[in-house]
C-alpha cells in the first residue's frame, strides 16, 4: 500500500477521500485555487499546495499543475474524486508516466466509455441493451434534424462528453430542435471542450437506475447492487436511494448482469457506475431497461451504496489501485436495509433554482445522520464551482423509515444568508407519491405546484413571537432599540422571563406583512449565554412546534422546515433581489458571461420569452421577460457581467 495520496479535487469529495485516507494511516495532500485558500479541504489535509487562480481551467483542470504539486510534496498516488480530471484519460496516462499511482480505471477504459456514441456501439457488441438513438460522426444540423425525425419526438440531445445534465436538452417539437441543439453544443463546448452530440429517444416515463461495479487487476468484477436516481431536476440528481423501489429479484439479476457485462467489455478496474434508463409506465421489467452511459469514477451518490453494503468504496479504490484483489467476492456482498441521500445545494428554489453565493454566516446541519460536506460556518460559496454544499445520508431498516428520517433531517437544516434547497428537499421526501415509491425523472416537474413552500400558522406565530420578545426586552431595559413600531436593532438579546399576557405585533416575513396578538414564551439558550445579536442563536416555540432562529442586524431569520424566513419589524425596509424587475429590467442573478441573446433590440416579445442567456457556475440560465413588450436594450454575447447588472430592458406593451 502506498503511504501518501494527493486528491486532485476540492470541497466535499476531497474531505470524503481524506477521511478514509486518514483512517488508513495515509498522508493526505490537497490542492487548491486562490478562491479556496481558506476552504475546509485545505485545512483538513496534512499538506496543501496552491495551484492557480479561481477559474477551474487555470487550477483544478490543469493537469500539469496538479502533477507538479504531487512531485513537490512527494505524493505516491493521485485520487481524482469526481468531476474535473476524474474522467480525463490523458491525465490518467500522465499520472502513470510520472511514476505515480492513478486511483481510477485504465485510460483505455475511460476512453472507451467517455464518448457516449462509441460506448453505445461497444455495449451493443457486448450484448448490453441500449436506448434507440443516433450516435454517428456526421454532426451537421441537417443530419441531426433528420435523425431526430426518424427516432420520433420527444428526443433527448446529449453532449457526447457530457455529464451532470450539462449539454443535455429535451426537445418535444421539431420547431424547437435547432435552438435545443445550439444550446446543447454551447454547454458541451464550455463544460467539456467538445460540442458533439448524440440523440436518443426520450422515454416518456423514465426511471434512472444505476449499478455500482468494481473490478480489480486479477480479473474479478463484482456489483454492489443498484441505486435509484430518478428524482431529478433538469437532469441533475436531487435524491438517490438504494436499493431501487419495486425491484424484483428477476429484474435485479438482469440489470446487474448487464452491468457486469458492460464492465468486463472494457476490462474495468476500480469503481464505476453503469447507468440505465428504465420504462416505468408498467413497473420494472427485465426487457424494459437500457444502457445509458458509464461513469468511470466514484459517484456523488456512493454513500447510499456504502450504507446498504457496509463497504467503504474509497478504501476499495485504494486497495485495488495498490494491486490488491477485491476485498469481497460477489456472494459475500449483501444488502442491508435502505439508504437515501439528498443533495443540499446553494440555490434559490423561489427564483428558478438559481445558484446562491456568498458567506455562510450560519451553517448548521442535522445531528444523528451522515453529513458529507466541504464547507463550514464562516466559509464561502463561490461562483466558480458546483453549488452542492453537502449531502445528507440516512440508513434505516425500511424505505418508509428512511424517507421519514431524511425529510426530518432536511427540515433541520439552518443556512443563512446563502439560500438552499433544504425546504424543497423536505417537501419532495414528504410527498405521498415519493413515500409510496411512485417516482420517475418527471416527478419534480409534474408535482411542481405541490412542492412550493406553504405558509403555516405556527411559523407566522413564531415570527410574531420573536418580534414581541425583542420589543419587550428593549422596553424592560428602558430602550426602544428593537421595537416593532420603529427604532434600530439592539446589539444584544436576552430571554424575557415575565411577559405580558398578550402583545399586538406587526411584522414583515420575507417582505409580507403579518400581524396578530401573541403571548411571548420563555425559550432556553442552545449555546453560550451573553452572545451578541450578530451571532446569537436560539429557539422559539409556537404551539407544539419549536423553530430555530438567528438574530441579524435588522431582525431575525426563522428556520422553518428547511426554509430560512427573514423576520423584520413592521417599519423595516424591505429589499428586492436581482432578476426581472417591474420596470422591465432583466438583471444578472449572479456574476457570469453572456452566451446567447435570443432577442435583439426592437423585437416584440411575449411574457416568459427568453431574452438573454447567462452562463454561470458551468450552467446556462435564461432570463425571460416578465410581461409582453418590446426589447429596448440587450447586452452583447461575450460580455462578462457582475451580479445585479442590467442585461436587458423590456418596455411593457401599451
**Catalytically annotated residues:** 297
C-alpha–C-alpha distance, residues 515 and 570, integer Å: 9
C-alpha–C-alpha distance, residues 153 and 242, integer Å: 32
φ/ψ of residue 290, rounded to 5? -125, 145
CA-to-CA dists, residue 126 to 174, 224, 259, 263, 318, angstroms: 33, 21, 11, 10, 29
Note the residue count of the chain.
Answer: 654
512-518 and 503-509 strand pairing: antiparallel
CA-to-CA dists, residue 163 to 82, 86, 116, 145, 194, angstroms: 11, 12, 10, 23, 12
Burial of 284: CB neighbours in 10 Å, binned 0-12, 13-18, 19+: buried
Are the CB atoms for 467 and 567 separated by under 8 Å? yes
CA-to-CA dists, residue 222 to 262, 263, 335, 463, angstroms: 12, 9, 14, 54
Structural Rg of the chain based on CA atoms? 26
Positive or negative, the CA dihedral 457, 458, 463, 464 is positive
Q: Is 112 helix (H, G, I), strand (E, B) or coil?
A: helix
Long-range residue pairs from 486-493, CB within 8 A, at least 24 positions apart, any chain: 486/569, 486/571, 487/569, 489/533, 489/553, 489/554, 489/555, 490/533, 491/532, 491/533, 491/534, 492/532, 492/533, 492/536, 493/531, 493/533, 493/536, 493/538, 493/551
Which has the closest alpha carbon to 167: 145, 199, 141? 199
The residues that bridge with 169 in the sheet, in sequence order, are 157
Residue that the C-alpha cell 438583471 belongs to: 587
The residues that bridge with 197 in the sheet, in sequence order, are 159
H/E run at residue 254: helix 249-265
Question: Cβ–Cβ contacts within 10 Å for residue 301, how many?
Answer: 24
Q: Alpha helices of 296-345 — where are they, by DSSP H?
A: 302-309, 313-321
Rounded (to 5) percent helix, strand, coil in the chain: 30, 35, 40
Those residues with Cβ within 8 angstroms of residue 461's Cβ, 6 or more apart along the chain or in another chain = 516, 518, 542, 543
What burial letters (b/e) apply to 6-27, b meaning 16+ CB within 10 Å?
bbbbbbbbbbbbbebbeeeebb
**Which of the 8 DSSP states describes residue 154?**
S
Q: What angle do CA 626, 631, 632 make, to 5 degrees?
A: 120
C-alpha–C-alpha distance, residues 238 and 426, integer Å: 11
C-alpha–C-alpha distance, residues 546 and 642, integer Å: 39
User: Mind spelling out the 3-state secondary structure of 384-453?
Assistant: CCCCEEEEEEEEECCHHHHHHHHHHHHHCCEEECCCCCHHHHHHHHHCHHHHCCCCCCCHHHHCCHHHCC
Amino acid at each position: 500500500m502506498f503511504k501518501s495520496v494527493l486528491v486532485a479535487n476540492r470541497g466535499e469529495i476531497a474531505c470524503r477521500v481524506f477521511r478514509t485516507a486518514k483512517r488508513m494511516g495515509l498522508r493526505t495532500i490537497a490542492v487548491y485555487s486562490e478562491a479556496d485558500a481558506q476552504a475546509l479541504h485545505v485545512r483538513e489535509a496534512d499538506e496543501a499546495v496552491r495551484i492557480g487562480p479561481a477559474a477551474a481551467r487555470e487550477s483544478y483542470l490543469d493537469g500539469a499543475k496538479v502533477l507538479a504539486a504531487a512531485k513537490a510534496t512527494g505524493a505516491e498516488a493521485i485520487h481524482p474524486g469526481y468531476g474535473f480530471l476524474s474522467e480525463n484519460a490523458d491525465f490518467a496516462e500522465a499520472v502513470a508516466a510520472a511514476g505515480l499511482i492513478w486511483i481510477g480505471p485504465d485510460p483505455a477504459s475511460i476512453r472507451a466509455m467517455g464518448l457516449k456514441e462509441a460506448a453505445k456501439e461497444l455495449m451493443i457488441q457486448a450484448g448490453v441493451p441500449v436506448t434507440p438513438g443516433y450516435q454517428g460522426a456526421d454532426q451537421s444540423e441537417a443530419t441531426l434534424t433528420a435523425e431526430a425525425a426518424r427516432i420520433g419526438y420527444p428526443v433527448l440531445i446529449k453532449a457526447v462528453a457530457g455529464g451532470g445534465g450539462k449539454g443535455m436538452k429535451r426537445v418535444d417539437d421539431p420547431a424547437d430542435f435547432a435552438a435545443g441543439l445550439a444550446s446543447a453544443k454551447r454547454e458541451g463546448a464550455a463544460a467539456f471542450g467538445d460540442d458533439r452530440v448524440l440523440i436518443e429517444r426520450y422515454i416518456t416515463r423514465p426511471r434512472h437506475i444505476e449499478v455500482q461495479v468494481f473490478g480489480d487487476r486479477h480479473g474479478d468484477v463484482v456489483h454492489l447492487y443498484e441505486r435509484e436516481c430518478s428524482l431529478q431536476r433538469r437532469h441533475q440528481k436531487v435524491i438517490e436511494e438504494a436499493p431501487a423501489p419495486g425491484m424484483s429479484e428477476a429484474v435485479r439479476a438482469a440489470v446487474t448482469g448487464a452491468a457486469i457485462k458492460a464492465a468486463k467489455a472494457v476490462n474495468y478496474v476500480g469503481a464505476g457506475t453503469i447507468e440505465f434508463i428504465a420504462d416505468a409506465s408498467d413497473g420494472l421489467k427485465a426487457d424494459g431497461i437500457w444502457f445509458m452511459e458509464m461513469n468511470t469514477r466514484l459517484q456523488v451518490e456512493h454513500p447510499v451504496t456504502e450504507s446498504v453494503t457496509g463497504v467503504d468504496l474509497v478504501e476499495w479504490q485504494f486497495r485495488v489501485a495498490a494491486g490488491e484483489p477485491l476485498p469481497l467476492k460477489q456472494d459475500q456482498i449483501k444488502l442491508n436495509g435502505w439508504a437515501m441521500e439528498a443533495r443540499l445545494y446553494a440555490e434559490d428554489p423561489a427564483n428558478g433554482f438559481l445558484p446562491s453565493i456568498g458567506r455562510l454566516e450560519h451553517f448548521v446541519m442535522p445531528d444523528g445522520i451522515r453529513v458529507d460536506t466541504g464547507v463550514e460556518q464562516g466559509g464561502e460559496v463561490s461562483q466558480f464551482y458546483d453549488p452542492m454544499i453537502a449531502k445528507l445520508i440516512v440508513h434505516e431498516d425500511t424505505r418508509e423509515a428512511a424517507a421519514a428520517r431524511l425529510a426530518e433531517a432536511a427540515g433541520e437544516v439552518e443556512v443563512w444568508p446563502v439560500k438552499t434547497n433544504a425546504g424543497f428537499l423536505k417537501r419532495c421526501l414528504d410527498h405521498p407519491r415519493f413515500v409510496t415509491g411512485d417516482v420517475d425523472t418527471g416527478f419534480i416537474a409534474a408535482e411542481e405546484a405541490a412542492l412550493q413552500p406553504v405558509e403555516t400558522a405556527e411559523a407566522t406565530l413564531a415570527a410574531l413571537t420573536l418580534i414581541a420578545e425583542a420589543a419587550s426586552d428593549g422596553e424592560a431595559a428602558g430602550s426602544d432599540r428593537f421595537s416593532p413600531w420603529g427604532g434600530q436593532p439592539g446589539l444584544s438579546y436576552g430571554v424575557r422571563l415575565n411577559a405580558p399576557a398578550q402583545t399586538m405585533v406587526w411584522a414583515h416575513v420575507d417582505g409580507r406583512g403579518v400581524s396578530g396578538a401573541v403571548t411571548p414564551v420563555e425559550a432556553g439558550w442552545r449555546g453560550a449565554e451573553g452572545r451578541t445579536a450578530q451571532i446569537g442563536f436560539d429557539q422559539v416555540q409556537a404551539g407544539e412546534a419549536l423553530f430555530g432562529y438567528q438574530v441579524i442586524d435588522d431582525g431575525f431569520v426563522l428556520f422553518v422546515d428547511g426554509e430560512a424566513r427573514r423576520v423584520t419589524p413592521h417599519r423595516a425596509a424591505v429589499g428586492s433581489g436581482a432578476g426581472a424587475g417591474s420596470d422591465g429590467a432583466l438583471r444578472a442573478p449572479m456574476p457570469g458571461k453572456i452566451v446567447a441573446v435570443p432577442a435583439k433590440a426592437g423585437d416584440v416579445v411575449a411574457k416568459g420569452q427568453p431574452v438573454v442567456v447567462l452562463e454561470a457556475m458551468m450552467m446556462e440560465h435564461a432570463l425571460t421577460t416578465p410581461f409582453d413588450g418590446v426589447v429596448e436594450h440587450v447586452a452583447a454575447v461575450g460580455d462578462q457581467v457582475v451580479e445585479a447588472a442590467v442585461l436587458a430592458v423590456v418596455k411593457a406593451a401599451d
